[in-house]
Amino acid sequence: MKPLFVLIAVFIGSLIGTKIFKSEIDYYLSGKIALSAMLLFTSLGHFMFTQGMSKMLPDFIPFRIPLIYVTGFIEIAAAIGIFVSGLRHTTGVLLILFLILTMPANIYAAMKHLNYETGNFDGKGISYLWFRVPFQALLISWTYFFVVK
């Protein structure tokens, strides 16, 4: 829920900012700024809640802790890459792939009732997916519309 709030709040703030500073609303720039802010926000979780996030991955996956750090750095790189004209399209396509590939970890965590912030198994469970799956679809669509297209 927090990443959605960041995405929407920064998008609205950026729309207002572009209207003030550019004299016209720039939807594409605002969409990229919002996505970048959301990615930077979510990347923090990879470094603040590493142990809990590592439990989002099944035991048979090796190097879970380093993988959590790597995915955090991927989110930071994507947040920057969407503003680099020569990398924008490729970054967007790779970000969409990343969002698709990370969905199974979210499903696994929900099935285990994982609260990744605490590392305990007292989370919302499968009901969380009623929010997460549409949100993931929104992020994929958002990335396509504001970055890839």
pLDDT of residue 145: 99
For 7-17, write each residue's pLDDT tens digit. 999 999 999 99
pLDDT of residue 2: 97
Domain of 131, in residue numbers: 2-148
Residues of the chain with pLDDT under 50: none
Structural contact between residues 144 and 85, judged by C-beta atoms closer than 8 angstroms: no
pLDDT of residue 3: 98
What is the count of structural domains for the chain?
1
For 31-53, write each residue's pLDDT tens digit. 999 999 999 999 999 999 999 99
pLDDT of residue 70: 98
